[in-house]
Amino acid sequence: EAQVTQNPRYLITVTGKKLTVTCSQNMNHEYMSWYRQDPGLGLRQIYYSMNVEVTDKGDVPEGYKVSRKEKRNFPLILESPSPNQTSLYFCASSPSVNNEQFFGPGTRLTVL
Amino acid sequence: GENVEQHPSTLSVQEGDSAVIKCTYSDSASNYFPWYKQELGKRPQLIIDIRSNVGEKKDQRIAVTLNKTAKHFSLHITETQPEDSAVYFCAASGTDRGSTLGRLYFGRGTQLTVWP
């Protein structure tokens, strides 16, 4: 089944404790992206990758890191999480730029 | 960069009526405009998209219109049904290889409620 998976789906952590949210797609898509969704603010792009080893900042990259060492995986890393990073995070993939994006199920993160 | 504004933020209609959601964008070079639907507790899913070389696109009860001169695009849903109730997001995609290519800018969303 073609899909985008994220893990974990829910996470409660404390300020400063490094964490990684994994994202994987099995559709051989070149383009992958991370978004955060906050009430009243819609979806905001954190980082995106147009191909392996190529990553770029989106609208809100501060406090986040990503890597794209292989086509299928695009992990989101929070080196030192803070409470303002409490949010719902979505990973998405697409065959190419300017094409339908397929979203993962989301990761709800709470930073205390 | 691009700025996408979406109106209204909430919209209530009676079943069978039409619903219209409007978005404006700032970057005249944007050339891809998708619409996503997000049901409560679910992930966003594409419902329709349009590219800048087309003025209108229809898919059954859903249509999108694009006015490049005025830099706005709209989602039209006819014969609304309760299952159309969701949050709808418009988006615009950058085209500037130097800074915005690959970036997708979303509006803040419209909560559509369709009453039986």
* Structure confidence by residue, pLDDT tens digits, A26-68: 999 999 999 999 999 999 999 999 999 999 999 999 999 999 9
H helix count then E strand count, chain B: 0, 11
Cβ-contact B110, B11 below 8 angstroms: yes
Q: How many angstroms away from the CA of B32 is the closest CA of chain A?
A: 6
Cis peptide, bond prior to residue B8, ω within 30 of zero: yes
Which residue of A96, A97, A100, A102 is the best one to mutate when testing the B interface, meaning the one whose CB has the most B CBs within 10 A? A97
Average pLDDT, chain B: 93
Count Cα atoms within 13 angstroms, Cβ side, for B75: 29
Q: Is A45 on the interface with B (CB under 8 A)?
A: yes
For the four alpha carbons of B76, B71, A93 and B43, in that order, the dihedral sign comes to negative
Chain A residue at shortest CA distance from B107: A42
Task: Quick: pLDDT tens for B15-72.
Answer: 999 999 999 999 888 889 999 999 999 999 999 999 988 899 999 999 999 999 999 9
Calpha distance B48→B29 (Å, rounded): 20
Cβ-contact B18, B61 below 8 angstroms: no
